Chain A
Amino acid sequence: MKKALAILVIVTMAVSAFAMGGKDGAAAAAGEPATIKLGGTWPLGDITGKQGSMAAQQAVDEINAAGGINGHKLELIVIDDEMKADKGASAFEKLITVDKVDMLIGGMASGVALGQIPVLKKYNKVYLATGAASFKVEEALGADANWYFHLHPWDYNQGASYAEGWAAIQEKYPEIQIKKLFLAYEEGAFGKASYDATKVLFGADDRYIIDGAPFKSAALGGGDYAAVLKAAKDFQPDLFLWAGWEADALPLLEQSKAMKFNPGIYLGAPPGWPADFGASSLANNVMLYGMWAPSINDISPVSKKFYDGFVAKFGIEPATYFAPLSYSAVYIAADAIKRAGSTDTEALIKALAATNYDSPLGQTVTFTPSNIIKHQGVKNQKILQWQNGRQEVIWPFDAATAKPVYPFPAW
């Protein structure tokens, strides 16, 4: 009897809490009809999601300070997806059905995006995605998802741009010659996809000899890279690339130094770097893949505006390209809503498809078809290098802020 009553009380409390949540959302929507709502999910416990959501809020504040969109204030509702598929899906359900947002933005991990896709397909809500590089996401979306606008390059886009970049660098700087390439990759989906794409894109015409080995990321309980570094050292690569998470960045370098492993090019490709990585003496001349660096401020006024605003608002430097990417997403959304003159889905899709945005990434963003979807934004990454504590752009040359330092100095 008591057990049954206890269950009754608990269930009633839980249901009331969520039912009230729904009513609050509806009341807020009714009370503020003039507000245009953007709903975003990011992994807030990770630097990519934390800074991405902060930068999105910065853009919202800037737009509101400048008068909003056609007289309407812009509001951003952020929910933590905790890098879990079910949490990400649940967050989208809330944003769409309870908060009744006009448009969705954000995202980082492909695993979360895959869990969110059934919800997106159910509501066909316009979504401007800042993450999800895996081709599996594109496969799951299918060709009919015209409401899906993907800002971040797909994994195969990134691989293709790296191959193009290294070919261009070798042509421009003849002292840099790459024949043997070794990829150390974290054993999860991100690392394995990077390795597969590297093998396909770099191994296509036998120009490069490629080898690789997996490691368990420090972010997932690993942190011992001796085996993979030994395999790399024995291979004697001209270019050593690692694809893992930010937690691997410094331990990998420390263990490489301990093992006296110093390839000509030491390159990292995590989605985000530790905030103070550049301050480490080990970081100097490490190369990296990325979409943005503070040095782009030198060549792009939009980047400088973003950077100065971010530092002034939050007191820290943006340490991941997800910050300017999410900032861009808000501006692209606001511009499309302004041009569409409404938040009607079809009008919004049409306006977004016609986007031509001078972004803080140092390049103009437009949407063109990719392998499956119709609206792919950025298709390339940049090749950068840590030089004296600063990330410099090495390639593409039209956005370059420095020449490459080669070879990677011996330990």
Chain B
Amino acid sequence: MKNKTSYAIAAGIAVIMIAFPAFLGAYPLNVARSVMTYMALAISWDMLLRSGQISFGIAGLFGLGSYASALAVLRGGMDPFLSIVFAAVFAGVMAYALGFVVLRLRSMYFSITTLALMEIFRIIIHNLHDFSGGPEGVVLPGVIFKGSASALYWLCLGGLFITIGASYYFEKSKMHLALTAIRNDETSARSNGVDIFKYLLIAFVVTSTLQGMMGAIQVQSYGFTMPDTAFDGNFTLLPLAMALLGGVHSTIGPMAGAVLLGVSAEWLKLQIPYGHLVVYGIIIIIVILFMPQGIVGMVRKASRTGRRSGRKAGASNE
């Protein structure tokens, strides 16, 4: 019964989100696209984090997806929509190949390697001047769906739904058990028959595919890409901050963090044009200092405390 109600509410929210273009203007839809992009990146980052692996390579895979899609259209004459699928698969295949090397590393060694990969991708794109446009980037013949605000919104929403679906699958399938076991104690997990490399590889490939897909959606929505924008460090740092703010190891946490940080960043910018980034930074620091478990963690803690005191009160009444 409880599950059925949850699914009904989730479906209701999905319907409302799909219907947003009917009652929101182009500007809120544009902001929503930005929030959804970061939300999808935050969720995908968290999906790999559930195995205990901290990746700093989001921007690298996002940029790789951007360029794969842009170059497929420009050099290969591919349909823009198909190029998004192609870019996602391309990022996944690259992650599969790289996974055999980087997934043998753990903790900070893995993190630093993913950061280095991001820089390597950027430098390669930088130097393939004739093919990739070099530092000046490439401009596409046009924006997908002729720039229709509603269509671009739905495209981004589609990417987000796929990401949420994948994350939900990770939460509810045996992937959850395997990744949690690896995070808690790798030796113990291995001795219990968990194929550690296989599960890490699946998580790495799936999250990279999602990040590449969002990069492709971004480039097709703006009609151009250049290394400085495609591999912008913000595509690593902001999703990370959003997931930490919302609460890690869940789908809802990064979603909450993305909405709060995304909307507050835009709101602050309009209220304090000349100092919003300082205030924004201070808010992130304060929240992470005082709510290290994130918003969702704090809500859960408060809920548990409430239940416990309720039970105590009930027992004393008896």
* Residues of A near any B CB (own CB < 8 A): 1-8, 10-11, 13-15, 17-19, 21-22, 44-45, 50, 53, 78-80, 82, 84-87, 89-90, 93-94, 96-98, 111, 114-115, 117-119, 121-122, 134, 136, 139-140, 187-189, 191-193
Contact B273 A85 (CB under 8 A): no
Contact A4 B137 (CB under 8 A): no
On chain A, the residues within 8 Å of B27 by CB distance are 18, 21-22, 90, 93-94, 97-98
Contact A192 B134 (CB under 8 A): yes
A115: contacting residue among B6, B222, B227, CB under 8 A: B222
Q: Interface of chain A, helix or strand or loop or mixed?
A: helix
On chain B, the residues within 8 Å of A140 by CB distance are 139, 223-224
Contact A93 B30 (CB under 8 A): yes
B228: contacting residue among A79, A97, A188, CB under 8 A: A188
Bound CA–CA A98/B227 (angstroms)? 32
Once A98-B25, A188-B135 are accepted as A-B contacts, the answer to whether A7 and B13 lie under 8 Å apart by CB is: yes
On chain B, the residues within 8 Å of A90 by CB distance are 27, 30-31, 34, 266
Shortest distance between the CB of A56 and any CB in chain B (Å): 12
Contact B135 A136 (CB under 8 A): no
On chain A, the residues within 8 Å of B13 by CB distance are 4, 7-8, 11
What are 10 residue pairs bridging A and B, where the CB atoms are less than 8 Å apart in the complex? Answer: A7-B252, A14-B32, A15-B24, A17-B267, A22-B25, A45-B277, A114-B226, A134-B136, A140-B223, A189-B137
Bound CA–CA A84/B10 (angstroms)? 33
Bound CA–CA A140/B225 (angstroms)? 12
On chain A, the residues within 8 Å of B87 by CB distance are none
Bound CA–CA A188/B135 (angstroms)? 5
Contact A122 B147 (CB under 8 A): yes
User: Does B291 reach chain A (CB closer than 8 Å)?
Assistant: no
Contact A79 B9 (CB under 8 A): no
**Apart from A7-B256, A115-B224, what are 18 other A-B pairs with CB-CB below 8 Å?**
A1-B9, A3-B6, A10-B256, A18-B263, A21-B28, A22-B24, A44-B273, A79-B270, A80-B269, A85-B222, A87-B269, A115-B222, A122-B147, A134-B136, A189-B137, A191-B135, A192-B134, A192-B135
* Residues of B near any A CB (own CB < 8 A): 2, 5-6, 9-10, 12-13, 16-17, 20, 23-28, 30-35, 37, 126, 134-137, 139, 143, 147, 149, 218, 222-224, 226-229, 232, 234, 252, 255-256, 259-260, 263, 266-267, 269-270, 273-274, 276-277, 296, 299, 303
4 smallest CB-CB distances across A and B, nearest first, come from: A4-B9, A18-B28, A192-B135, A93-B27
On chain A, the residues within 8 Å of B139 by CB distance are 114, 136, 139-140
On chain B, the residues within 8 Å of A15 by CB distance are 20, 24, 28
Bound CA–CA A6/B232 (angstroms)? 31
Interface centre among B6, B126, B229, by most chain A C-beta atoms within 10 angstroms, is B229
On chain A, the residues within 8 Å of B149 by CB distance are 93
Shortest distance between the CB of A302 and any CB in chain B (Å): 27
Once A17-B263, A85-B229, A187-B126 are accepted as A-B contacts, the answer to whether A3 and B136 lie under 8 Å apart by CB is: no
Interface centre among A2, A5, A22, A111, by most chain B C-beta atoms within 10 angstroms, is A111
Bound CA–CA A13/B267 (angstroms)? 12
Bound CA–CA A317/B256 (angstroms)? 44
Contact B274 A111 (CB under 8 A): no
On chain B, the residues within 8 Å of A22 by CB distance are 24-25, 27-28
Shortest distance between the CB of A52 and any CB in chain B (Å): 12
Contact A189 B228 (CB under 8 A): yes
Bound CA–CA A15/B260 (angstroms)? 12
On chain A, the residues within 8 Å of B135 by CB distance are 187-189, 191-193
Bound CA–CA A91/B89 (angstroms)? 33
Contact A10 B222 (CB under 8 A): no
Contact B136 A192 (CB under 8 A): yes
On chain A, the residues within 8 Å of B143 by CB distance are 118
Bound CA–CA A221/B16 (angstroms)? 43
On chain A, the residues within 8 Å of B25 by CB distance are 22, 93, 97-98
Contact A136 B252 (CB under 8 A): no
Contact B296 A6 (CB under 8 A): yes
On chain B, the residues within 8 Å of A122 by CB distance are 147
